[in-house]
Amino acid sequence: MSKVGKYLIFIGSLFRNTEKFRVYLNLIFEESVLIGIDSVFIVSIVSTFIGAVTCLQTAANLVSPFVPKYIISLIVRDMTVLELAPTITCVVLSGKVGSSIAGSLGTMRVTEQIDALEVMGINSTSYLVLPKIIGAMITFPLLVILSAFLAIYGGYLAGTLTGAVTPEEYTYGLRYGFIPFNVTLAIIKAVVFAFLISSISSFQGYYTQGGALEVGKASTKAVTNSCIAVLVADYLLAQLLISG
């Protein structure tokens, strides 16, 4: 519990003795590029193949002649929007973005760059961490939207090229019984996951002590703790926004 309390104090310190808005604007832009644009390739590859595999496996298990083919794309759509796009994408990003954030802050800590900022009277948590959190909360929803589109398109390509479903059936299934709130839920999940991943990774990196070995350990802890937090938050959000 002491770690949880220390984490909450760390989050509270982000909003004390802040810098001018113009300073944060430049930093947020830089972090958005590092977190978002540099992650587009890995998100695109993972999402496209997950959608394709989901489509093919669903088609392979629909053996009953009484089940219409458009159910394939309906399942791909709902699985993608509700779970695969927000959760799997953010788990992947927790490995890439989380380890990067923890590693960079850990390196700054062990090389005493953070101490130098504190000596100059700058709130190092606010200056270094807050732009990363805001940048993640801006770019993660965009990456999740991209992931959902590519997963559904990957399922379309796999289904039509293999003959499992016709283009007309796939399109009809995408539109059948669509619930717009599911998209809102995916974006809410992305924002929450972005906050958890960026803040937990920053916390692990900021309080690193030792040398290069400890920086590596902090990066590993950041990834594992972020993944656990994402999965727990995924359940809680589903319970709150769907079941509730």
Instruction: Determine the pLDDT at residue 110.
Output: 86
- High-pLDDT (> 70) share of the chain, %: 99
CA proximity to 126, closest of 192, 200, 202, 191: 202
| Residue 86: φ, ψ to 5° | -70, -45
Compute the distance between CA of residue 48 and CA of residue 19 in angstroms, rounded to an integer: 41
| Residue 195: φ, ψ to 5° | -65, -45
Instruction: Determine the pLDDT at residue 243.
Output: 65
Q: Please provide the size of the chain in residues.
A: 244
Segment 17-36 shows an average pLDDT of: 84
- Which has the higher per-residue pLDDT, 17 or 103? 103
Cα angle 166, 163, 41; round to 5: 90
Segment 109-125 shows an average pLDDT of: 83
Q: Tens of pLDDT along 197-208?
A: 999 999 998 888
**Structure-derived torsion over alpha carbons of residues 21, 26, 32, 34, reported in degrees to the nearest 10:** -140
> Would you state the structure tokens that stand for residue 35, as one six-digit string?
């977190």
Using an 8 Å Cβ cutoff, are 131 and 31 in contact?
yes
Instruction: Determine the pLDDT at residue 244.
Output: 54
Instruction: Determine the pLDDT at residue 137.
Output: 93
Cα angle 161, 90, 146; round to 5: 45
Provide the whole-model pTM: 0.89
In DSSP notation, the chain reads -HHHHHHHHHHHHTTSS---HHHHHHHHHHHHHHHTGGGHHHHHHHHHHHHHHHHHHHHHH---TTS-THHHHHHHHHHIIIIIIIIIHHHHHIIIIIHHHHHHHHHHHHTTHHHHHHHTT--HHHHHTHHHHHHHHHHHHHHHHHHHHHHHHHHHHHHHHTTSS-HHHHHHHHHTT--THHHHHHHHHHHHHHHHHHHHHHHHHHT--SSHHHHHHHHHHHHHHHHHHHHHHHHHHHIIIII-
Q: What is the mean pLDDT of the chain?
A: 88
Instruction: Determine the pLDDT at residue 51.
Output: 92
Using an 8 Å Cβ cutoff, are 69 and 165 in contact?
yes
144 pLDDT band (50/70/90 cuts)? very high
